[in-house]
Amino acid sequence: MKPSQALSKEDCLEIFNQLYLARYFDVRLIKEKKRGRLRGTLYSSHNQEAVLVGSLFGLQPTDWISPIHRDMPAFFMKDFRFGVDNPDRLGMSIEEVCCQVWGKVDSPGRARDNWSHIGSKSKKIIHSTSMLAGTIPVAAGVVYADRMQGGNAVCLTYNGEGSTAQGIFHEALNYAAVHKLPVITIVENNQWAYGTPVEMECPTPDVADRAKGYGMLGLIADGQDVFDVYDKVMEAVAHARAGNGPAIVECKTFRAYGHGDHDDDRAMKYRPSAEIEAGRKRDPIAVCRQKLIDLGYLTGDAKNAYIAEGKNAGDATNDDFPPHVVEYLNKGIEFAIQSPVPAAEEAEQWVFWNGGSK
């Protein structure tokens, strides 16, 4: 039996809900920027939400994650399954994440940097860095330490397919394989690394093929189908937790827009429009909706309620999302807008030793 077949109706509906939350986060930030209420670059996860939701859903609170620029919703969606308002949940709050995006003092890094450049040891989120694939060796070290202390945590690292062309990607995988470390390398293969197509990054048709060379498990998931992602990641998690070592889970998907919003216009030129259309044809919300209808979990009017799929941020409205999703983001955004910027005197904090114990 596939792991997803053991999910309850409530779990399946919660997964659907989480897809909306991830999509709305994206849509809403784009709107906020267009309205002039937000500055900085946005790296959209539109059309890739099933990779985040499906991979996070089966984790335990003791597990670690390591998201990067394309995975912003992961920071607040970690442990969502255990209740958004559960104080013991080990994900960041939407207020913290919005403060990070708005560069305000209540962000985890007190506004020292923006976007995904945050982490939290207590919440088991490895700090994102700009160096592609650079978090994989860190993840290997974290779970190595956990094992030495008797733990059984796994770590999911998120990487674009562009990361796989980095030397450190291969060194880190080799190290994790030799030591049988429970590191699951998710490759969000969205076909493009900035303006470089995947065939210029990887000479094999599937990135997952790389796993063979390291003697590790390599799986391919349909990145548009949240349940397939869940199944493949849970297979890798079970394999790793049992002491069999690391895995690559390649999720085939497609980047909806530009690399960042500064690249949106260019990405309409360097990517043929037929390719964009084909890549966005299977919206993860639509794929999940159909599955829930087939299972009999969405019936009557609910089948066609809140049609967010297939719409760009400019076309989607609040009415396309469940009201509690809009409310959740409203709360985070209003908090961030009212949160102050840090005092200038704080600039030295965490940079120089200010006395006290070392």
Ligand X SMILES: Cc1ncc(C[n+]2csc(CCOP(=O)(O)OP(=O)(O)O)c2C)c(N)n1
Q: Enumerate binding residues for ligand X (CB under 6 A).
A: 70, 130-132, 160-163, 166, 188, 190, 192-194, 255, 259
Pick one of ligand X, Mg ion, none as the site partner of residue 166 (Cβ within 5 to 8 A by kind): ligand X
Short-list 212, 239, 283, CA closest to 22: 283
The nearest distance, CB 46 to ligand X, in angstroms, is 12
Q: Show the CA angle centred on residue 43, arms to residues 225 and 125, nearest 5°.
A: 75
The C-alpha atoms of residue 75 and residue 109 are separated, in whole angstroms, by 13
The nearest distance, CB 162 to ligand X, in angstroms, is 3
Q: How far is CA 127 from CA 54, 82, 99, 183, 352, in A?
A: 21, 22, 16, 16, 20
Indicate the residue among 130 and 312 with the shorter CB distance to ligand X.
130
The nearest distance, CB 160 to ligand X, in angstroms, is 2
Pick one of Mg ion, ligand X, none as the site partner of residue 115 (Cβ within 5 to 8 A by kind): none
The nearest distance, CB 268 to Mg ion, in angstroms, is 17
Q: How far is CA 203 from CA 169, 170, 216, 250, 284, in A?
A: 15, 15, 19, 15, 27
Give the pair of three-digit tokens for residue 267. 């990405």
Pick one of ligand X, Mg ion, none as the site partner of residue 234 (Cβ within 5 to 8 A by kind): none
The nearest distance, CB 122 to ligand X, in angstroms, is 27
190: contact with Mg ion by CB under 5 A:
yes
The nearest distance, CB 159 to Mg ion, in angstroms, is 9
Indicate the residue among 108 and 223 with the shorter CB distance to Mg ion.
223
- Which residues are CB-contacts of 314 (< 8 A; sequence separation ≥ 6)? 30, 34
Indicate the residue among 93 and 190 with the shorter CB distance to ligand X.
190
Q: Show the CA angle centred on residue 338, arms to residues 333 and 344, nearest 5°.
A: 120
Residue from 42, 140, 154, 193 touching Mg ion (CB under 5 A): that is: 193
Pick one of ligand X, Mg ion, none as the site partner of residue 25 (Cβ within 5 to 8 A by kind): none
DSSP one-letter code for 182: -
Indicate the residue among 153 and 229 with the shorter CB distance to ligand X.
229
The nearest distance, CB 133 to ligand X, in angstroms, is 7
160: contact with Mg ion by CB under 5 A:
yes
Task: Please identify which residue in the block is written with the tokens 């999940």.
Answer: 288
Indicate the residue among 73 and 162 with the shorter CB distance to ligand X.
162
Name the phi and psi angles at 104, rounded to 5. Answer: -110, 165
Pick one of ligand X, Mg ion, none as the site partner of residue 79 (Cβ within 5 to 8 A by kind): none
Indicate the residue among 89 and 259 with the shorter CB distance to ligand X.
259
By Cβ distance, which residue is nearest to Mg ion? 160
The C-alpha atoms of residue 238 and residue 183 are separated, in whole angstroms, by 12
Amino acid in position 216: M
Pick one of ligand X, Mg ion, none as the site partner of residue 261 (Cβ within 5 to 8 A by kind): none
Indicate the residue among 162 and 245 with the shorter CB distance to ligand X.
162
The nearest distance, CB 154 to ligand X, in angstroms, is 22
Short-list 173, 182, 159, 198, CA closest to 62: 182
Q: How far is CA 112 from CA 9, 33, 193, 341, in A?
A: 42, 20, 26, 10
